[in-house]
Amino acid sequence: MDILRAPELYIDKDGLWYADGELMINKEIIMLFASHLRKAGPDKYHIDWQNQLYPVRVEDAPFFVQSLTEQEGRLRIQLYDGRKFPLPPGNLIMKNNIPYISLFWQHDSKLSHPSYCELCKNVIERDGQYIIKYGADEWLVEEIVVQKGF
């Protein structure tokens, strides 16, 4: 009987999934993997599936917001893996001019440029701070400068 080796899994900075260096294109498998993704520690992730843990390397953020829409008076995001969620409460974080939100863990979801542009249609300035305001909901835009090492 052969023992199967698990593929090396990787999520790039644009939310694309790879297995052994090959781009994954099957959306059902990507959604399955993403829905079982767990955070094990700082910058450590794995898929928890059928009592087995499969490590996943993540270049930037484990989730990528592909689009943002309005539905029934609420802002909703769609992840690269196809899942849809209400835009979560909390701050919108700008790290080196790249927008992130916290969906499951802190700063775990990177916004695509079109998603961020859609959000910015609702930006207001109050007391020197920028806020995304949609109906009664508000998200503070918080800037974090990350220094790159030499």
CATH topology identical between 9-58 and 63-144: yes
Considering only the top CATH level, what class is 63-144? alpha beta
CATH code of the region 9-58: 3.10.540.10
- Condensed to tens digits (0 to 9), the pLDDT of residues 4-32 reads 578 999 999 999 999 999 999 999 999 99
3-state secondary structure 63-95: EEEEEEEEECCEEEEEECCCCEEECCCCCEEEE
- Record the pTM: 0.88
- Condensed to tens digits (0 to 9), the pLDDT of residues 122-132 reads 999 999 999 99
Spell out the domain ranges in the chain: 9-58, 63-144
- Retrieve residue 10's tokens: 């990787």
